Amino acid sequence: MCRHHGVQALLCHCMHERPEWFSWPNNVRQELSAMSQANVAQELIRNHHLNGLLKIFLLRNIRCLLLKGEALARTHYAAPGVRTRGDCDLFFDLREIVEARQAVLDAGLRIVSPVYKSHQFTVRRPVKGHDVIEFDVHSRILNHPRYARVLSFDEAFNNSVPVPGLSTSRALHPVDALLHACLHRVANKRHDPDRLIWIYDIHILVDQMTVADLREFAKKVMKKNVQIECLEGLLIAQDCFHTNIPREVVEDLMGHEASSYAAWRRRFAHSNLSLLIDDFRVLPSFRSRWGLLRELFFPSSDSLMRRYKKTNRMWLPYLYLNQVLGGIVRRLSLH
């Protein structure tokens, strides 16, 4: 359960000096301690490669923000190793995606996913004797079309704060980080929204914010029409960790109903179609726009065969037809 919820290092850190810790079975304490120590070792290795990557970005004037656990581990947790995470999330301006892609390649990292279609690409570096070091490079704040543009890179960067111990990087302002943490819980249906480490992120952010900060947060999320998701995140943190949420902030987040016309406009703005149009508008070149179309509708034959678990290449015409028609339905819909 600790591994699933990503809290093994956090639990070990919080409990190892408490009397109750020594009442737990030895094998449980030993396993939690071993996982915590492995997490610290992985953190040291990841930090080395992250510093190298950030220096390349700095030299090439590529703006970058640390996201999610990688940022919060340094800005809000007692020590970076306390916040378990499997990868490092970075946020870039979509207009600089070509330069960012080349920078990670020049840093010796290997791209192992499509670059454009999911608004993030994954890069890895094998480390001898350890698991791979993995970076997720995001060109939108979140992948889901409902939330992909809730925070633009320029808005996030202009409000950003320096990261302790990483002079070459910045992170989301706490107000924006709380917005992101609340939406990240619900932005991917494959994720468990009740994963404790994500709820604890919300708790620790709120715990270190003033009432004025939280009122600003409420004002921002209502303006962006995500108050329902954010209120849910706050209340589940309160339920799990007794997070202190001022009553006036909860009242602010109750919001109000919009007109049917405004609701229709939001439906279009939150759709795959609207996001695709905006991607084409923002991407910096014809080559990058073609790269997006190719990944959406014309992936490599090998990747199609793997995706549909086929071995006979005679399936390829049908698979490509299914990919194109299915892609059109998904991307040109208002869902």
Q: Retrieve residue 213's tokens.
A: 């900060």
58: left (phi over 0), alpha (psi -120 to 50) or beta: alpha
pTM: 0.86
96's tokens: 């600089």
Please tell me the predicted confidence (pLDDT) of residue 83: 92
Q: Is 327 helix (H, G, I), strand (E, B) or coil?
A: helix
Strand order in the sheet with 88-91: 110-111, 120-125, 133-138, 88-91, 65-67, 166-171, 161-163
Tell which residue, 267, 320, 278, has the closest CA to residue 296: 320
pLDDT score of 89? 93
For the record, the structure tokens of 99 come out as: 């330069």
What does the pLDDT profile of the chain (335 residues) look like in tens digits? 998 999 999 999 999 889 999 999 999 999 999 988 888 888 888 888 888 899 999 999 999 999 999 999 999 998 888 998 888 999 999 999 999 999 999 888 899 888 888 899 999 887 765 567 889 999 999 988 889 999 999 999 999 999 988 767 899 999 999 999 999 999 887 888 999 999 999 999 999 999 999 999 999 999 998 999 999 999 999 999 999 999 999 988 886 554 444 554 566 666 788 888 888 889 988 889 888 888 887 878 877 788 778 888 888 888 778 777 776 666 666 55
Q: What is the 3-state secondary structure (H, E, C) of 122-155?
A: EEEECCCCCCCEEEEEECCCCCCCCCCCCCCHHH
Q: If we measure between CA atoms, which residue out of 281, 225, 292, 290 comes closest to residue 253?
A: 225
Selecting from 3.30.43, 3.30.460, 3.10.540, 1.10.3470, what CATH number does the domain 2-172 have? 3.30.460
**Under 8 Å between Cβ of 297 and 116:** no
Contact between residue 10 and residue 200 where contact means Cβ atoms under 8 Å apart:
yes
Residue spans of beta strands (DSSP E) within 242-283: none
Which of 137, 139, 136, 177 lies closest to 156 in space, CA to CA?
Answer: 177
b/e map 163-197, b = 16+ CB within 10 Å: beebebbbbbbbbbbbbbbbbbbbbeeeeebeebb
Q: How far is CA 330 from CA 229, 271, 272, 326, in A?
A: 24, 10, 7, 6
- DSSP assignment of 23-77: GS-HHHHHHHHHHHHHHHHHHHHHHHHHHHHHHHHHHTT---EEEHHHHHHHHTS
238/244 Cα distance (integer angstroms): 7
Q: How many CA atoms lie within 13 A of 313 on its CB side?
A: 4
- Indicate where the chain has its CATH 3.30.460 domain(s): 2-172
